[in-house]
A and B are shown apart, each in its own frame.
Chain A
Amino acid sequence: MNAIEIKNLTKNFGQKQALRGLDMTVPMGAIYGFIGENGSGKSTTEKLICGLLVPSDGQIKLFGRDYTDVDVRAKVGVLIEAPGCFPNYSVWNNMMLQAANLGMKNAEEEVRKVLKLVRMEGAASNKYKNCSLGMKQRIGIAMALLGNPKLLVLDEPINGLDADGMRIMREVLVDITREAQCTVVISSHILGELEKIATHYGIVRNGKMIKEMTAQELEESCRTYVALQTKEMNRAKAILACKYSRVEEDEAGYIRVYDAKEPEEIVTYLYENEILVNEIGTAKIGLEEYYIDLMKEGR
């Protein structure tokens, strides 16, 4: 059974079509990295999953049930844009309100537990409005974790977090998917961070899902390339372009050859053309580059 199954989801805001028949499948227990450009429909999809917007068309199922099912929705944790907290209330009181909303019996204990998890136990008495951006994000995550959710929907949760905050966030998400069988949908523009935890990916463009894959499939799709440096970069590039179909110079000043099998093969080829290689090695493109390539292809 999948945690989320979306079919042909459409959402119009007046004349503007935000989602155009989006399909999405999130397996149970996955950390689903939801990627796309600004305005591609990520937040709209997440708001629809959480029942905060009304779909124009299409079907959303959570754990095999309709997304409006009361019992299923009680097990969804959410952090969309900013945490929904009352600014004049303390962090503790805001958390206790959400705990009461969830009808939790051992509320105090649970609130203490999640605040400790995000390292916010010391700031519980602070007024929410006096918290920094990073602290607010942590509070939002803690709030989403209340009530042992089976599905977490997090929109840009890493924004505003420092390095330590990001690490904590990663650890928390990995732990809850392993121990509590929680499914996580996480959208972020910080792809390097996402790559460290995501088990599945969904790439959305112009309100449509253009690619869904597992981390394993991404690993296989991410091409290996040979990166090299010479004293005659321009000539080397021109010579390599005669033999290899894709030769590019990257921002760091390296020539990348994507369809070469071994570095030795390139060294020999350039030597035959009287070019000496200063530095050479193999590397693999990451999620960020894969995503940028994919976006370029669509333009």
Chain B
Amino acid sequence: MEKMNFEHNSFGKRLGSMLKVDFRRMFTMPLLYIMVGSCLVMPILILVMTTMMDGSVSVNPQTGVETVVEGFENTWQAIGSVSGTAMSMDLTSMCNINMLYFFVAVLVGLFVSQDFRSGYAKNLFTVRAKKGDYIIAKTLVGFVGGALMLIAYFIGTILGGAISGLSFDTGTAGVSGIVMCMIAKIFLILVFVAIDLLVSVAAKQKTWLSIVGSLCAGMLLFTMIPMITPLDSTMMNVMLCLAGGILFSVGLGAISNIVLKKTSLV
């Protein structure tokens, strides 16, 4: 009987080529630069504008109630608050780095849905029988994209603090606490990327569904972020975020893999 030999592609080779494609795509996507740019500009605008408005009083003409605008007292408030501080719903608590986890949902949602909308997924999954490769590559790409946004926001915060003349006093957190806080936040991206990826592969070409779904799912974990990544983070916080990120990536990644295996890809 006539036999045909096929070249064996190892996991490393498959993943390597897929990562190459995905990173090339991400770094040629204008959306990434728009988002990273926004993340750089946003804290500058927030810090400068809130400082300018700090202490200004507005009076409701009907009720006569006076409202005093409270701005940031310290630059690092845009990154987080020290542990033990109750999470309030004011401007300084909401307009900080934590909202970037929702930006990650938009990035991952658009990135994945573009694969299915363009028909690229057909080419890809015809020659790539292992759906796991796709999940791993997308998780890593989403992680890097999210990390770039967080770093841009951090740089923007420093610039914004300097421009608005806010204090850079690290207080009880210390420099190491802020560094650990940032590292923990970066690792925490993995948790959100895993959630966003699961929603996106289930929604496939429906961009709106993947973004709305990811935002809703992310909202459930949103309150956890300030608690697990306070400004005075330690190695423990970093390890917790890393472990959580890996657990979510592996667990939800396995579910995403099943979703791709068991559902139609076109």
Contact = CB atoms under 8 A, between A and B. Distances in A.
Q: Tell me, yes or no, whether A binds B.
A: yes
Interface of A: 1, 28, 47, 50-54, 63-64, 68-78, 80-87, 89, 93, 97-98, 100-103, 143, 147, 150, 153
A51 to B, nearest CB: 6
Given A52-B125, A78-B122, A86-B118, A101 B7 contact: no
A98 B123 contact: yes
Tell me what chain B mostly uses at the interface: helix, strand, loop, or mixed: helix
What range describes how many residues of B lie at the interface? 35 or more
B38 interface: no
Interface stretch (B12-20, B56-64, B92-100, B193-201): B12-20
Closest 9 CB pairs of A and B: A84-B119, A71-B6, A103-B17, A84-B123, A84-B120, A73-B129, A50-B126, A78-B126, A52-B265
A175 to B, nearest CB: 19
A13 to B, nearest CB: 9
A79 to B, nearest CB: 9
Contact of A68 (B2, B114, B127, B129): B129
A150 B25 CA distance: 28
Contacts of A103: 9, 13-14, 16-17
A153 B125 CA distance: 14
B122 A80 contact: yes
Tell me what chain A mostly uses at the interface: helix, strand, loop, or mixed: loop
B119 A73 contact: no
B138 to A, nearest CB: 14
Contacts of B127: 73-74, 76, 101-102, 147
B237 to A, nearest CB: 38
Interface string B242-260: 0000000000000000000
Nearest to A89: B28
A82 B266 CA distance: 12
A73 to B, nearest CB: 4
A72 B24 CA distance: 26
A1 B9 contact: no
A54 B28 CA distance: 33
Contacts, number: 114
Contact of B8 (A47, A71, A102): A71
B264 interface: yes
Interface string B1-36: 111101111000110111011001100100000000
Contacts of B126: 50-52, 73, 76-78, 153
Contact of A1 (B1, B7, B24, B261): B1
B181 interface: no
B266 A53 contact: yes
Contacts of A47: 264, 266
Nearest to B266: A52
Given A1-B4, A73-B129, A101 B122 contact: no
A177 to B, nearest CB: 14
Contacts of B28: 89, 93
Contact of B129 (A51, A64, A82, A100): A51
A74 to B, nearest CB: 5
Given A84-B122, A103-B9, 14 more contacts: A52-B125, A52-B266, A64-B3, A73-B128, A73-B129, A74-B6, A74-B7, A81-B266, A86-B114, A102-B17, A103-B13, A103-B16, A150-B4, A150-B6
Contacts of A52: 122, 125-126, 264-266
A143 B7 contact: no
Nearest to B21: A100
Given A28-B2, A52-B266, A101 B18 contact: yes
A84 B118 contact: yes
Nearest to A83: B119
Contact of A81 (B17, B119, B120): B119
B179 to A, nearest CB: 36
B122 A85 contact: no
Contacts of A71: 6-9
Query: In this complex, which of B4, B18, B28, B263 has the most chain A Cβ atoms within 10 angstroms of its Cβ?
Result: B4
